[in-house]
């Protein structure tokens, strides 16, 4: 007899930070999340729909099919880093994030927006506005926010691969620890 389907389904819709870039898939924070849910006895399936290099425009284009296919109860939206690294217009990033949150909410999914930090290449005003974009979207759509997935690693060069952008395997638990408090609150609702 087949096990009953899980009533909770988390879908992580992100970029290389969630796709375990440069690591074995099982070393990434999303796989660690699956283990954490099991350890906490939270009956929840996890789908990792993350793709390295994904922008908010690409994520927006892919989201309708992902929502239809997976029917998630929760969407962890971790996109925007590649927009920032490429210096793309932040008003477009904002619009894409708003649109994705709208679509997820219309599909009856709770949304957790996960922001990121980018290197200072484009100057302080761009970086500040980039960080502010996540806060604006979360406030406008009344969704939970993790301001920066990389917040616990910011001052640790050894936490990153040679590219200085992607965390090493030993840093992945810190990413999960950054997301978990907000996610746990959502799962209790």
Active site (annotated) includes residue 166? yes
Task: Record the tokens describing residue 155, joined without a space.
Answer: 């001052």
The active-site residue out of 13, 15, 16, 74 is 16
Task: Record the tokens describing residue 28, joined without a space.
Answer: 């990434």
Active site (annotated) includes residue 70? no
Q: Residues 53, 88: contact at Cβ < 8 Å?
A: no
Q: Which of 65, 149, 125, 131 is nearest to 94 (CA)?
A: 131
Give 160's contacts (C-beta < 8 A, 6+ positions apart): 153, 166, 167, 168, 171
Q: Residues 18, 48: contact at Cβ < 8 Å?
A: yes
Active site (annotated) includes residue 74? no
Buried b (16+ CB within 10 A) or exposed e, 102-127: ebbeebebbbbbbbbbbeeeeeeeeb
The active-site residue out of 13, 70, 74, 166 is 166
The alpha carbon torsion through 5, 177, 186, 55 (nearest 10 deg) reads: -80
Q: How far apart are CA 26 and CA 168, in angstroms?
A: 13
Q: Which amino acids are annotated catalytic?
A: 16, 163, 166
């Amino acid at each position: 007899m087949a096990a009953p389907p899980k009533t909770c389904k988390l879908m992580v819709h992100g970029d290389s930070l969630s796709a375990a870039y440069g690591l074995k898939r099982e070393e990434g924070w999303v796989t660690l999340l699956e283990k954490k849910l099991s350890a906490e006895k939270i009956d929840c399936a996890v789908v990792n729909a993350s793709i390295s290099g994904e922008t908010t425009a690409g994520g927006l284009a892919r989201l309708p099919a992902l929502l239809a296919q997976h029917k998630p109860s929760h969407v962890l939206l971790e996109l925007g880093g590649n927009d920032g690294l490429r210096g793309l217009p932040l008003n477009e990033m904002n619009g894409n994030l708003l649109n994705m949150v709208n679509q997820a909410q219309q599909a009856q999914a709770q949304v957790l927006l996960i922001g990121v930090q980018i290197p200072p290449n484009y100057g302080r005003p761009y970086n500040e506005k980039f960080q502010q974009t996540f806060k604006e979207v979360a406030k406008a759509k009344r969704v939970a926010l993790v301001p920066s997935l990389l917040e616990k690693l910011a001052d640790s060069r050894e936490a990153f691969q040679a590219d200085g952008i992607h965390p090493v395997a030993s840093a992945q638990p810190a990413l999960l620890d950054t997301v978990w408090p907000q996610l746990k609150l959502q799962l209790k609702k």
